[in-house]
Structure 1
Amino acid sequence: MVGSILLIDTDVDVLRACGGVLEETGYEVLRELSAEAALETYDRLEPDVVLLDWHFDGERGPRLLDQLVARGATIVLTTEPDSAAGAVHGLDQGAVGRLVKPVSAPELLALTARAADYTRVRRLEGACADKMRPLGGLEALGTSSAMKKLAHEIKVLGKNDNTTVLLKGERGTETRLVARLIHDSSPRVSAPFVAVRCSGRSATELDSELFGHEKGAHPTAVSRRRGWFELVGAGTILLEGIEALAPVLQPKLLRVLETKTFRRLGGTRDVTADVRLIASTSHDLGPAVDAGNFRKDLYYRLSVMELPIPPVRRRSPEDRSKLFAHFLAAARERYAEGPTEASEEALARLQEYEWRGGNTMEVANVMDRALLLAIERGHEIVEVGDLAGELRARAGFGDRRHTPMTLDELEKIQMERTLRSHAGNRTRSARELGISRATLINKIKRYNINV
């Protein structure tokens, strides 16, 4: 999906024609005939671009424009050929462009793409606001000597803001948090920080996202698009799961690291980049290098400074307590209510748990769920009963007290353990559980299992 567009016009033919052109290109198109419905749709879905008829419903266009601008919308006006003065007024009110009816497909696609790019940059800048920064800063990492050493290394890497960093940790460890802390400790702190996943997308898609593309570079490239290496300016890019970077993109990334220049997909002109690059991986890249799947020179460039992040189960009890408190505080800030601490028994169960599945991602989900249940039940502190079934089931050494659990909870626990032991493979997990793969999939949906 290229983006989402809201069309506002009283002319059904215009909505059909313009919407059809945009949908063929891959946009999600929303159409509204009334001001009330248009505002409700914008508030609910926040589309990337709004195309608004300046003469909408008589004289309501300018008023609707004001209401949408106040909501932060990116607006392109559609006007009649003889309404130049009104269009200028609309641009003064906050619209970013104008299309003259009848609108041609090339002009529609070009201006819409530029407006969507503008929205992308603006939202990126908003994502870098202080409210999005990690709670607790470096202190959130922990107080043990190992975590203090990690905090010190983060500070050092922050000061040396041209050094490339390779973060190494199991799936679910806080590589994004550490990368953000490095960024926030650097002179680049006022510039954007962006995390981009390398897996789960085609080489062309990732190429366009990172480096941009020129018009016509591929079937959906209807206009020039700037990639993150241009948009973040002097900021920081975190490439998550660097082991999945397509071989065709590895020389391009190497060139950025070596020369600070790149070319957009389909382009012939060099573009300069002043970006700090951080990469993360949960794999040992050595075998991939030996097998020729990952370039040796790129690996050496990325691993100028390797920073290992220990899994939760290998951290000290004090560090884990710090982590539980951090994610409970983060959840409470998100919901603006609920307990600020957990009971001693709940903390003991959290400490005993192995945390082999999702590491800090799993901790965050556990604390989020526990807080929601505590709020619903009116608890002043997070209690054992607010924890997920698998944590409640793990009684401490010598603890023979009964922990009430339903058969559904026991079934969910067993399925989660089996899926985890088979790295999420559903066919092998179903075979071990003695059920069909279809039944397993249905139960995964029923119990909302995420492995």
Structure 2
Amino acid sequence: MPRTVLVVDDDPGVLRVLSRYFSRGGWEVHEADSGEEGLRRWESARPDVVLLDLDLPGMSGREVLDVLVSRGASVIMLTGHTEVETAVDAMQAGAETFLTKPVDFAHVGAAAERAAEKQELRRTNETLARSLAGRTEDDGLGASPGMRALARQVSMLSASADTTALLLGESGTGKSWVAQMIHARSPRARGPFVEINCAGLSGTFLDSELFGHERGAFTDAREMKRGLFEVADRGTLFLDEIGDLSPELQPKLLKVLEQRTFRRLGGTREMTVDVRLLAATNKDLQAEVRAGRFREDLFYRLSVFPLTIPPLRERSREDVMELVHRSLVDLGKRHPGAPHSMAPRASEALSAYAWPGNVRELRNVLERALVLAVGSERIDLEHLPEALRARNAAKSTRNSAEVLPLAEVERRHIERALHVLGGNRSLAAEKLGISRSTLHAKIQQHGLEKVGKE
């Protein structure tokens, strides 16, 4: 759907020019020539962005701004050169930015795009917050087409009680959570879900953990121990970091997958189990197979149904914010007194960050923010780590520079020309493409008399 803009200005020429510009850019445009009419049009159209003239007859632009901001609108103020102080006050009251007339199309277009993106983010936050309570936890993979396609794959896999699956993706992307989701939605949901990290134990100890051991099987084996395959009988066993499984254990795992039988370490009796196996890795197992570190037959047996969990940097803004809201609901239970809402600029910083540590890093950042924000009305930028605050500040600085008032751009350009040319006003006028009298008038207008004289 096209983005929408409401232009509120009592000057017919300004309405006509701005409406034509945005229409040509593919925007849906609404017009109003008074503050009262602007509020009525906003209620009926709910546009993404409002361009609001500060100097309106009847209800002033400043009064209209207060009403629009209270209703969640994203507003850009249009002002004259003599109204800059009032415009700054308007920004403090909630306006996104202000532009001086006559507006530069490039500036107004860029400002409107940014304002629309922020508004979209706010609406996403509100929608997700409202809908989260009515959704089950296993329905929270994401809202984008890519993540919904992944959710459909998870749903199909969950319908099977026995199909082995290999979850692929970077560290921290949520592979364990997806494995729990598959189990919870499967016919095995009433059985146990057992998880173990294959990278955390040496060969002998991992063998004992997975398959158990008989008394006396090794020095410290003072009594018989059931392995996790037995513990997970009629349920699901999740082997994380399967790429680190030792070569000695790989054939034993393959046997369990193919025959559903195994022997405890040091034992002679064949044990039979009914276990669904899910595995995960952040390694390229095909490369491990080519390097001779992973059995090819085991790789193919594990990857009956491969699922790739994308990193956060490849997910949409909506997906990231859904994870934020779901994590806040979960983490908020551990932190009484922490806020349940988030400031727009904090949301923007979270959605714009690359998250090299993926979901794990996101949850850590949010838990820290909840601790710092206890007693506050909402989580704000100050509660986030320096890396996220610095990135947001740099972005804000760039955005502010892009939408300088036209008069300020002109003043700086003339001042630079005078400095470069040693104060030679005749030469400056020639280089700037204006007459000397026009340059003289602009020097007086901008207070540049002391910059240099002939």
**After TM superposition, is the score higher than 0.5?**
yes
Larger Rg: 2
Q: What are the ranges of 5 or more consecutive residues in structure 2 without an aligned counterpart?
A: 1-134, 399-454
Q: Note if 1:388 corresponds to 2:350.
A: no
Which letter does structure 1 place at the counterpart of 2:280? S
Alpha-carbon displacement from aligned partner over 1:285-304 (angstroms, at most 9, x marks no partner): 11211121101100000000
Letter in 2 for 1:220: D
Q: 1:251 to 1:169 in 2, by over 3 A?
A: same
TM-superposition CA deviations, 1:367-415 (whole Å, max 9, x none) = 100001001xx211111101111111112675129xxxxxxxxxxxxxx
Corresponding residue for residue 361 of structure 2: 362
The one-letter code sitting in structure 1 at the alignment partner of 2:164 is T
Residue of structure 2 in register with 1:273 after alignment: 273
CA displacement at 1:360 relative to structure 2: 0.3
* Counterpart amino acid of residue 212 in structure 1: G
Question: Which consecutive segments of 4 or more residues in structure 1 shift more than 3 A?
Answer: none
Q: What CA deviation, in whole Å up to 9, does each residue of 1:131-161 have, x standing for no partner?
A: xxxx942322111111111111111111112
Q: Name the SS for the 1:247 alignment partner.
A: coil
**Deviation of the 1:201 alpha carbon:** 1.5
In 1, Cα distance between the equivalents of 2:395 and 2:367?
29
Structure 2 match to 1:141: 141
Give secondary structure in 2 for the equivalent of 1:248. coil
Count of residues in Structure 1 that have an aligned counterpart in Structure 2? 265
Q: Deviations over 1:308-345 (max 9, x none)?
A: 00100110111111011111111102224411121101
2:300 is equivalent to residue 300 of structure 1: yes
C-alpha separation in 2, matches of 1:136 and 1:313: 25
Distance 2:335 2:136 in 1: 18
Q: What residue in structure 1 maps to residue 232 of structure 2?
A: 232
- The question of 1:379 aligning with 2:392 is answered no
Whether contact under 8 Å (1:352, 1:396) holds in the other structure is no
CA distance in 1, matches of 2:264, 2:148: 41
Provide the rounded CA distance (Å) in 1 between the counterparts of 2:330 and 2:298.
36
Deviations 1:352-375 (A, max 9, x none): 11112x100000101100001001
Counterpart in the other structure of 1:334: 334
Structure 1 residues 204-250: Cα deviation after superposition (integer angstroms, max 9, x where no partner): 10011111000111111001100110012211111010000000000
| Equivalent AA in structure 2 for residue 390 of structure 1 | A
Task: Name the CA distance, whole Å, in 1 between partners of 2:259 and 2:354.
Answer: 45
1:159 corresponds to: 159
Residues 13-412 of structure 1 aligned to structure 2 (within 5 Å): 136-356=136-356, 358-375=357-374, 378-395=375-392, 398-400=395-397
Letter in 1 for 2:198: C
Letter in 2 for 1:164: T
Amino acid at match of 1:305: F
Q: Distance in 2 between matches of 1:334 and 1:141?
A: 23
**How many angstroms apart in 2 are the aligned matches of 1:214 and 1:171?**
35
Aligned-pair distance for 1:251? 0.6
Distance, in Å, in 2 between the alignment partners of 1:262 and 1:398 is: 58
Which residue identity is paired with 1:363? L
Aligned partners of 1:315, 1:335: CA distance in 2, in Å? Answer: 28
Q: 2: CA distance between counterparts of 1:209 and 1:290?
A: 28
Equivalent AA in structure 2 for residue 156 of structure 1: M
Q: Among all aligned residue pairs of Structure 1 and Structure 2, give the percentage whose two residues are the same amino acid.
A: 47
* Structure 2 counterpart SS, 1:390: helix
Q: Is the 8 A contact 1:154 1:185 kept in 2?
A: no
Q: Distance in 1 between matches of 2:359 and 2:251?
A: 33
Take 2:320 and 2:215, find their aligned partners in 1: how far apart are those partners? 50
2:283 alignment partner, SS class: coil
Distance 1:367 1:136 in 2: 21
> Cα deviation per residue 1:98-145 (whole Å; 9 max; x = unaligned)?
xxxxxxxxxxxxxxxxxxxxxxxxxxxxxxxxxxxxx94232211111
Map of 1:430-445 to 2, 5 A cutoff?
none
Matched residue type, 1:303: S
Give distance in 2, aligned partners of 1:158 and 1:141: 14
**In structure 2, distance between residues paired with 1:333 and 1:364:** 14
Letter in 1 for 2:281: T
How far off is 1:162 after superposition? 0.6
Q: Amino acid of the residue matched to residue 260 of structure 2?
A: K
In the superposition, the TM-score normalised over structure 2's length comes to 0.57
* Counterpart amino acid of residue 399 in structure 1: S
3-state DSSP of counterpart to 1:201: coil
Separation in 1 of the partners of 2:337 and 2:292?
Answer: 52
Deviation at 1:349, TM superposition (A): 0.5
With normalisation by structure 1, the TM-score equals: 0.57
Q: Secondary structure at the match of 1:393?
A: helix
Q: Which has the higher contact order (CA 8 A, sep 6+)?
A: 2
- Distance in 2, Cα, partners of 1:222 & 1:199: 25
Specify the SS of the correspondent of 2:277.
strand
Amino acid in the other structure paired with 1:381: R
Paired residue type of 2:316: S
Secondary structure at 2:195's aligned position in 1? Answer: strand
